[in-house]
């Protein structure tokens, strides 16, 4: 039996042409830092009385599915597929200066585009394809001293054995110096605002997925349905004055946030750079805490929640600029 470490295992993604039908090959193999791909089985327990004190007399499978997560640096190419499955709606323009701009908005539907998840396992000696992959939640994390990262949780149908040949392409990552957080009363003003002095930032999206399963069908879910779209986040900054966040928190004021991430050391065409951007047109600060350690710099942690904004017709939107023509 072969033995090895997690670095040997690879994961890839592809958009499905027909929902629930596995794609032939991965469009992107992902340079990941953490990975979990777990076959799940729910059982009906036979706990009927048989004249013995044993608690059960058997079990049968009632549901079969896959649950997993991919943690990786946000990269300029493959991340578009993650955004597509998370948001559901995409429009692409370009090329302009050899670059394409992909705009992602929340599809107002319970059914968002599905992915095939490819799993190459040289340690176990068997590769798999997982059809009907959907992103159930996505978290973005920015910290000093680390690449800008995401953690995507997904659900899918049980695996089908495959023979795969992974080939990981080079992509552009984003660093702390590439990240800007801008806040103002409107999105337009936030775009032009001076970046805030922020030391950490996280944004989480939950789609509250429910399996679509019915009588007279096999144990695999027929589909995965998004029930609601929840967006929350948190940032940490040095405590300097109440006008940064405290006054808005105490008054319950709504603010707009722009997360702008652009690697200016990589050039597309003549003057364009790989870029990722998130717009939150209406957020409220829901909690603010401070530490007063006697030998520590005083810092504040601010939690926020994003709401649907009637003025812009959006809760959240994202933009990715790269050399990919379509997803």
Higher pLDDT, 141 or 212: 141
Q: What mean pLDDT is predicted for residues 36-43?
A: 91
Which of 44-58, 170-184, 236-250 has the lowest average pLDDT? 44-58
Q: What's the half-sphere exposure (Cβ side, CA atoms, 13 Å) at 72?
A: 25
Per the document, the length of the chain is: 327
Give the Cα separation of 6 and 316 in Å (integer). 34
Residue 1 pLDDT exceeds 70: no
Asked if residues 30 and 168 have their Cβ atoms less than 8 Å apart, the reply is yes
Q: Is 187 helix (H, G, I), strand (E, B) or coil?
A: helix
| Residue showing tokens 């469009």 | 27
Distances (CA, A) of 209 to 52, 112, 137, 154, 269: 40, 11, 9, 10, 40
Q: What are 204-227's pLDDT values in tens digits?
A: 999 999 998 888 888 888 999 999
Quote the mean pLDDT of the chain.
95
Residue 126: what pLDDT? 93
Percent pLDDT > 90 in the chain is 84
Give the Cα separation of 81 and 327 in Å (integer). 7
Give the Cα separation of 313 and 281 in Å (integer). 9
- 212's enclosing H/E stretch is strand 209-212
Q: What are 244-299's pLDDT values in tens digits?
A: 999 999 999 999 999 999 999 999 999 999 999 999 999 999 999 998 989 999 99
Residue 107: what pLDDT? 97
Q: What's the half-sphere exposure (Cβ side, CA atoms, 13 Å) at 263?
A: 18
Sequence-ordered list of residues with C-beta below 8 angstroms from that of 154, at least 6 positions apart, any chain: 67, 68, 69, 70, 115, 117, 133, 134, 135, 136
Q: How far is CA 29 from its chain centroid?
A: 16
- Single out the residue of 178, 192, 294, 300 nearest to residue 245, CA to CA: 300
* DSSP single-letter state for residue 176: G
Give the Cα separation of 250 and 234 in Å (integer). 17
Asked if residues 304 and 257 have their Cβ atoms less than 8 Å apart, the reply is yes
Q: What are 89-134's pLDDT values in tens digits?
A: 999 999 999 999 999 999 999 999 999 999 999 988 999 999 999 9
Q: What are 9-22's pLDDT values in tens digits?
A: 999 999 999 999 99
Structure tokens at 75: 């990269």
- Single out the residue of 209, 195, 190, 191 nearest to residue 138, CA to CA: 209
Task: Provide the sign of the torsion angle of the four alpha carbons 238, 243, 247, 249, taken in this order.
Answer: negative
Give the Cα separation of 140 and 133 in Å (integer). 20
Give the Cα separation of 228 and 213 in Å (integer). 19
Q: What's the half-sphere exposure (Cβ side, CA atoms, 13 Å) at 255?
A: 27
Q: Is 79 helix (H, G, I), strand (E, B) or coil?
A: helix
Please tell me the pTM assigned to this model.
0.93
């Amino acid at each position: 039996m072969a033995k090895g470490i997690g670095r040997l295992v690879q994961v890839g993604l592809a958009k499905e042409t027909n929902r629930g039908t596995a794609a032939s090959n991965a469009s992107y193999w992902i340079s990941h830092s953490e990975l979990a791909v777990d076959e799940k089985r729910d059982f009906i327990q036979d706990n009927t009385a048989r004249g013995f004190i044993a608690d059960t007399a058997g079990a049968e499978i009632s549901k079969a599915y896959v649950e997993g997560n991919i943690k990786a640096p946000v990269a300029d190419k493959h991340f578009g597929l993650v955004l597509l499955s998370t948001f559901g709606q995409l429009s692409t323009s370009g090329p302009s200066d050899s670059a394409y701009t992909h705009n992602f908005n929340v599809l107002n539907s319970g059914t968002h585009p599905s992915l095939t998840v490819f799993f190459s396992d040289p340690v176990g000696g068997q590769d798999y394809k997982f059809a009907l992959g959907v992103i159930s939640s996505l978290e973005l994390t920015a910290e000093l001293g680390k690449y800008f990262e995401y953690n995507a949780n997904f659900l899918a149908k049980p695996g089908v054995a495959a023979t795969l040949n992974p080939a990981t392409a080079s992509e552009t990552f984003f660093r702390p110096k590439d990240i800007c957080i801008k806040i103002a009363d409107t999105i337009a003003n936030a775009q032009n605002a001076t970046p805030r002095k922020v030391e950490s930032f996280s944004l989480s999206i939950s789609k509250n997925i429910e399996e679509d399963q019915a009588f007279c069908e096999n144990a695999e879910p027929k589909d995965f349905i998004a029930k609601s779209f929840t967006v929350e986040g948190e940032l940490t900054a040095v405590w300097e004055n109440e006008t940064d966040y405290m006054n808005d928190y105490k008054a319950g004021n709504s603010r707009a946030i722009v997360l702008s991430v652009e690697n200016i050391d990589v050039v597309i065409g003549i003057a364009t750079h790989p870029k990722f951007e998130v717009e939150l047109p209406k957020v409220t600060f829901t909690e603010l805490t401070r530490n007063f350690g006697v030998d520590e710099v005083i810092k504040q942690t601010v939690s926020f929640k994003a709401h649907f904004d009637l003025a812009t017709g959006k809760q959240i939107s994202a933009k990715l600029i790269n050399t990919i023509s379509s997803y």
